[in-house]
């Protein structure tokens, strides 16, 4: 597993935990930096902070393009994977779009339901197609 993949997984773990607890993800990450034996990679912190800073816009886009699914209806881990991937897709210029989608699909295979990889792939694929037209 590459360093960036590990960082993405760690970010998703923390975003999932914060979402589940109704807590601020940046504060949750700060708590984990102090108390947790598992390190938080700098890229994981970048993702957590980026998702937290743009969560309203990310959720708006996901709600718009998640055909037939509301955010509340999605499994929590899928929300964390998708939010992280949407942040990377739209605001992380150093990561190719196809890499973002592939990584998100692989993490969905590893962490979520059997149907999640297909859903994640479809949603992110739609967002990649409309990306040039989005006001972000």
At 61, which CATH number? 1.10.940.10
Exposed (0-12), middle (13-18) or buried (19+): which is 122, by Cβ within 10 Å?
middle
Provide the H-helix boundaries in 1-136.
3-21, 25-35, 42-65, 76-91, 97-111, 116-130
Q: What is the pLDDT of residues 110-129, one digit of tens each?
A: 999 999 999 999 999 999 99
Q: What is the pLDDT of residues 33-87, one digit of tens each?
A: 887 677 899 999 999 999 999 999 999 999 999 988 889 899 999 999 999 999 9
Cα–Cα distance, 52 to 50 (Å, whole number): 5
Of 12-16, 30-34, 55-59, 86-90, the range with the lowest mean pLDDT is 30-34
Q: What is the pLDDT, as a whole number, of residue 37?
A: 76
Mean pLDDT of 8-20: 97
Residue environment code for 88-114, b if the CB has 16+ CB neighbours within 10 A, otherwise e: bbbbbeebebeebbebbbbbbeebbee
What are the structure tokens assigned to 58, written together?
């990310």
Q: How many domains does the chain have?
A: 1
Q: What is the pLDDT, as a whole number, of residue 39?
A: 81
Diameter of the chain by CA atoms?
43
Q: What is the pLDDT, as a whole number, of residue 90?
A: 96
Q: What is the pLDDT, as a whole number, of residue 102?
A: 97
State the residue range of the domain holding 71.
3-133
């Amino acid at each position: 597993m590459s360093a960036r993949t590990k960082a993405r997984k760690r970010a998703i773990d923390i975003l999932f935990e914060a979402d589940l607890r109704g807590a601020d993800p940046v504060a949750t990450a700060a708590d984990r930096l102090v108390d947790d034996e598992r390190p938080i990679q700098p890229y994981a912190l970048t993702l957590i902070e980026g998702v937290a800073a743009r969560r309203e816009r990310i959720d708006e886009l996901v709600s718009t393009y998640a055909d037939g699914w509301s955010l509340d209806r999605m499994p929590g881990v899928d929300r964390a994977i998708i939010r992280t991937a949407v942040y990377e897709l739209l605001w992380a210029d150093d990561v190719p779009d196809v890499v973002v989608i592939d990584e998100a699909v692989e993490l969905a295979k590893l962490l979520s339901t059997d149907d999640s990889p297909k859903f994640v792939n479809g949603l992110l694929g739609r967002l990649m197609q409309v990306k040039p037209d989005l006001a972000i």
